Amino acid sequence: MKPGYKSIYEQYRHSIVSGLLKPGDKVPSVRVLASELGVARKTVETAWAILIGEGYLISQGARGTRVNPDLILPAQKPASKQSIVEEKPRAMMEVLRDQQGFLRLGIPSLDAFPYKKWLLLCGKAVRSMQPLEMTNPPLVGYTPLREAIAHYVNVSRGLSCSAEQVFITSGYSNNLRLILNTLATERDKVLFEDPGYFFGQQALKRAAANLHFVPVDDQGVNVDYLLRYHNDAHLLFVTPSHQSPLAVTLSLPRKHQLLKWASQNESWIIEDDYDGEFHYTRKVLPAMKSLDRDDRVIYMGTFSKTVMPALRIGYLVLPRAALARFHETAALTESGQPVLTQKILAAFLGEGHFYQHLKKMRTLYSQRRKHMLTALENIYPHLFNVEVSDGGMHIIAFLRTSTQDVALAEIWQCHDLQVSPLSRWYNQTSKRYGLIIGYTNVRSYAEAEALLQRPATETRALLASSRSSGQTTNEGEIPRRSEKR
């Protein structure tokens, strides 16, 4: 029987994924392969179109079609017979999940995204592009999107800003660059939470020469510590809604303390509200920026958690007094974000789909979190300790009797479970140990159990050996407010 487009697609995909075809390798032309296999050209064209769409192949016009030279495949595991036998045709969603691994932190649910609506909006946005919108994009962002965001943060996050204060960026690293270039000099002291967002710390270690860390306890960033040791700081990066990664909420008195400090010292607070939309057990808390009477807070939002990371759209809500300075910087360092993407997103917000989606995701994530917690307890009774917080998109499975979270994470990653070891998110010597687990793409209890089962034997062996070797334990809670550091 002649092969159909699906089997050509699957064979080539398998050859690429298994390394038989390497990035940059040329694949046959449509004409040659069609004649070789005795199929219509259309059949090969369709298979190539899917592989190009998924990023496996790239077409280089007259130079032919090649395996994408920039393709990054997950690290090859030692090939087990089982993994080859299990290789089945999979839907595009599964391919995405493969590339990202399972349990990865911060990826919103890919199976529950309203693709149909999104596609409709994409089509509309493309058809309605005006000549003016095809010139250089506005540096500060596409006006209808800025308006839609201002409306959203005012209604849902308690802010009271105008669209002029909203600056559209490509996400976190763009935000950092813009803020540091505009507000800080080489010598200015910059503060970050400890533990704190891993990527943020790494980026700031490069970009800010005078960087310091402030410990986090059960009420969020330790403001007494800040006032005592770093009262002179110029910038503070903080995650008040759900501290990243510990997921505690910054207490109200501390929010007021910080705002007072910033006003008195003319310092800036950068509120990273990366997943503040997701609360499951109580009402969504307003952002800290909503309490900011003296306009000392720069609010940072992202659509990576609420829509999709591939969108690469984030935003800043800027203090009025600093707008002109940000615009001056942007004129030299920014080139604006793609208008088409912003147009689609503006319609997604403007037509109410975003709000509906958030509502659905709150219910879904709360169920998925339950599945993950139950599966964790059933498969690893007494090995982990989870402090269930009010929301967020991840849990931390604290190790009860071991400090070996780095070794453990490596084991899990070999099973394609892309968990992160908590201790790596600390800078100071006092650390906690555990696995940071994203659960938003785990579709059922059965799936949670099957995934957690994968590294079970090695996990038990590692934790048993670290217990018998008498390693210090991690048992206990986040340091309380009164604890000295």
Q: Going residue by residue from 256 to 295, which x/- string records binding to ligand PLP, judged by CB under 6 A?
A: ----------------x-x---------------------
Q: In what order do the strands lie in the sheet with 190-194?
A: 166-169, 314-317, 297-302, 268-272, 235-238, 190-194, 211-217, 220-221
The least distance separating ligand PLP from the CB of residue 169, rounded to whole angstroms, comes to 8
Q: Cβ closer to ligand PLP: 306 or 401?
A: 306
The least distance separating ligand PLP from the CB of residue 204, rounded to whole angstroms, comes to 12
> Is residue 389 within 8 Å of 400, Cβ to Cβ?
no
Neighbour tally for 19: CB within 10 Å: 11
The least distance separating ligand PLP from the CB of residue 18, rounded to whole angstroms, comes to 30
User: How far, in Å, CA of 269 to CA of 346, rounded?
Assistant: 27
User: How far, in Å, CA of 337 to CA of 170, rounded?
Assistant: 7
C-beta contacts of 289-293 below 8 A and 24+ residues apart = 289/157, 289/158, 289/159, 289/317, 290/157, 290/158, 290/159, 290/160, 291/255, 291/256, 291/259, 292/259, 293/259
Site for ligand PLP in 174-233 (CB under 6 A): 197
Considering only 109, 201, 243, 244, the residue that binds ligand PLP (CB under 6 A) is 244
Q: Cβ closer to ligand PLP: 10 or 334?
A: 334
Scanning 260-268, 301-309, 337-345, 438-446 for contacts with ligand PLP by CB under 6 A, the matching segment is 301-309
Reference 149, options 273, 296, 321; nearest CA is: 273
Instruction: Tokens for 289, please give them.
Output: 């920026």
Q: How many residues belong to the site for ligand PLP (CB under 6 A)?
A: 12
Q: Cβ closer to ligand PLP: 169 or 474?
A: 169
326 binds ligand PLP (CB under 6 A): no
The least distance separating ligand PLP from the CB of residue 196, rounded to whole angstroms, comes to 8
249 binds ligand PLP (CB under 6 A): no
Q: Cβ closer to ligand PLP: 341 or 404?
A: 341
Cβ-closest position to ligand PLP? 171
Positions touching ligand PLP (CB under 6 A) are 106, 171-172, 197, 239, 244, 272, 274, 302, 304, 309, 314
